[in-house]
Amino acid sequence: MSNELNTDPMDFDDILPHVGEFGRYQKWLFMAMAPFCFNLVLIYFPHIFITLEPQHWCKVPQMQVVPADQRRQFISPPSTDMAGKLDGCLMYDVDYNSVASSYLAGNHTLPHPDTPTIQCTDWEYDFSAVGGYPSIVSELNWVCSRGDFAATAQSIFFVGAIVGGLLVGGLADRFGRIPVLVATNVIGAVSCLLTATVSSFAEYAVYKFLAGLAFDNIFVMMYVLALEYFAPQHRTLVANMSIAIFYTLGTVLVPWFAIWVSDWRLFSVLCAVPMMFGAMAYFLVPESVRWLMSQGRTAESIKIVKKIAYVNRKIIPDEVLKKFEMSINGSYSSSSSGSPDEVAAAEEEMKNASLLGLLKTPAQLRTVILVALFWMLVSLCYDGHLRNVANLPLDIFITFTVACATELPADTILTLTLDRWGRRWYAFGSMFMSGVFSLLVVVVPLDHVLTIATLAIMGRFFVNIAFNIGLQYTAEILPTVIRAQGVSAVHIAGYVAALISPQIVLLGRQSPMTPLIVLGGLSVVAGCLALFLPETLHADLPQTLQEGELFCRNFQFWSFPCIDKAPAPPPATPSPRASFIRPRPLLRGESYRSSVLRQRRKETIYLPPPS
């Protein structure tokens, strides 16, 4: 033990075996992730259930004497967009006093379909198919010419997410993870409370932008922070299963919570309550030790480490604690760390590298562009399938629940197979299968509603798998020196693509199958793009731009790592990049989505969480 202690400086992962790698402290942190994961659900999904569009038709006061089940037949002409449906935005231009009088006299003759029509100015609604409660759409009459208000507001939500993504990372690096975690939960709560007061589209759009600022970050900091305290060999399981359990549980419960409340304003208020408790993280959740180390805050780092050991009933050897303290202070030197010039050169490269350096590495630049396009299409299809449940010909609450439940098997299967089957062909297969299932609706008659819903849900299932692959794949392809910048840029590109998903879902008003056809085609394209990315399973992950260029140039299309034998790990050799501890780590967003410990070069990968 003493020889090992005197060889290399310590990172936080190195001290975890001495304080407990999966003890009571880590188990408590795992459970503490649950409420923040629920908050992610409550900031993302309620929009669907407070903007449900019920069946509607023109309101004609004179016709209130006619029973509701017959009234629409006298008011609404046949729809020109959807066969067999009545138009909800037009009404016959007739004398309704005469029509009502004739009806009471026993004359139930309907107006001729060729009768002239006019636009509605007020509407009646049938809430039976949307949970039995009024929504913001029905209360503020966001139908017909204002029917795109809800979709536009959701696009504005993603604009907020883009701005939040650009701001929050820097704030977390400057002020710490806990302050940002608390702030984003408070912002999320405020946005929900303000939503309950909405009386116009402008107000709702502003509050959705505010919610977008908190989106992802309302959970990401807790997700990142908790995983930091688990040993690397446990992070694959913890990262995937926390999403599989907590995220899935939250998504399958939220529609029934909306029905139970049956009031969109009260529903919005109740969604804010758990986020208010997010402020308690300041008192209950430890700050990131890695961040504290990067700031040179030795005493706080040591205090947290000692607390972990105490809760896990471990005793830290004095020499280990002393070495850890020296490593934080930067006073520890290692004979295996290379010459001072080599260390300084490696540090300078890490500090000055930027995405602009890709312009000098054409093969890598092409790969990064393909990664960004792949992730944009995956994000678009993921959000599109999520929202398209409103267009499926079954009860939206049941369909939404079943579709969201696919997250659990998708994450579980991925946890067990990703490090066996690789990334590239797995990403291709999952997106291609999602596209196939979505496109099959073309050959299904419209009256086969269960078959259509099943195909859509299977499309969602495979998108779930591809989404989680993409989270890991993106970070592995990018070299260490630009990984934080690259992952951030790629994920913001995903938000940009998601801006148009609500508009794709709107196409379902003309034909319920159109969104699935569009999403299916985009999924196939995304799958094909994945085939032109380099495989990272069994590969040395690039650390410098030069290594990244060589890695991308060595791309082989007909490579199948799932059946190729993994190469034996080479003997560990000291490297100035890998052996010294940087005084201020450049990476942020430390979440594993799959094990990277099997890579021949040991390297910690930092990722943002899913959306």
User: Do 86 and 18 lie in a common domain?
Assistant: no
CATH code of the domain containing 533:
1.20.1250.20
User: Do 317 and 430 lie in a common domain?
Assistant: no
User: Do 114 and 103 lie in a common domain?
Assistant: yes
Q: For residue 253, tell me if it sits in a domain.
A: yes
User: Do 192 and 300 lie in a common domain?
Assistant: yes
Structure tokens at 487: 């992952």
Of the residues 278, 313, 338, the one at which a domain ends: 338
pLDDT mean across residues, the chain:
81
8-19 pLDDT, tens per residue?
A: 667 777 888 888
Identify the domain containing residue 99 by its residue range: 55-126
278-304 pLDDT, tens per residue?
A: 888 888 888 888 778 877 788 888 888
Q: State mean pLDDT over 323-328.
A: 78
Of the residues 338, 370, 387, the one at which a domain ends: 338
Q: How confident is the model at residue 428 (pLDDT cuts 50, 70, 90)?
A: very high
Q: State mean pLDDT over 540-550.
A: 79
User: Do 274 and 331 lie in a common domain?
Assistant: yes
CB 507 within 8 A of CB 514: yes
User: Do 9 and 100 lie in a common domain?
Assistant: no
CA-CA distance, 529 to 536, in Å (whole number)?
16
**Residue 566 scores a pLDDT above 70:** no
Q: For residue 455, tell me if it sits in a domain.
A: yes
User: Do 245 and 334 lie in a common domain?
Assistant: yes
- Which of 312-316, 375-379, 465-469, 538-542 is the least confident region? 538-542
pLDDT for residue 446: 81
User: Do 299 and 422 lie in a common domain?
Assistant: no
CA angle 24, 30, 34 (to 5 degrees): 140
pLDDT for residue 342: 56
**Residue 579 scores a pLDDT above 90:** no
Compute the Cα dihedral for 306, 309, 310, 311 and give only its sign. Answer: positive
- Which of 38-42, 145-149, 422-426, 597-601 is the least confident region? 597-601
pLDDT for residue 595: 34
CA distances from residue 485 to 353, 422, 505 in whole angstroms, order as listed: 10, 24, 31
pLDDT for residue 461: 94
User: Do 324 and 390 lie in a common domain?
Assistant: no
**Residue 602 scores a pLDDT above 80:** no
Place of tokens 């005197």: 6
Residue type, 172: A
Q: For residue 575, tell me if it sits in a domain.
A: no
CB 541 within 8 A of CB 603: yes
pLDDT for residue 314: 85
Q: Count of domains in the chain?
A: 3
**% pLDDT > 70, the chain:** 85
Q: For residue 347, tell me if it sits in a domain.
A: no
Q: For residue 164, tell me if it sits in a domain.
A: yes
User: Do 77 and 179 lie in a common domain?
Assistant: no
User: Do 246 and 181 lie in a common domain?
Assistant: yes
Residue 242 C-alpha from the chain's centroid: 14
**Residue 202 scores a pLDDT above 70:** yes
Q: State mean pLDDT over 364-375.
A: 90
User: Do 29 and 121 lie in a common domain?
Assistant: no
370-423 pLDDT, tens per residue?
A: 999 999 999 999 999 988 988 888 889 999 999 999 988 988 888 888 878 888
pLDDT for residue 8: 62
Closest CA to 54 of 122, 140, 137: 137
Of the residues 126, 159, 189, the one at which a domain ends: 126
Q: For residue 598, tell me if it sits in a domain.
A: no
Give the length of the chain. 611
List all residues 6 or more positions away from 286 whose beta carbon is below 8 Å from its beta carbon: 225, 229, 304, 307
H-helix segments, 45-117:
46-50, 68-75, 96-104
Q: For residue 232, tell me if it sits in a domain.
A: yes
pLDDT for residue 606: 39
Q: For residue 440, tell me if it sits in a domain.
A: yes
pLDDT top residue among 600 and 232: 232
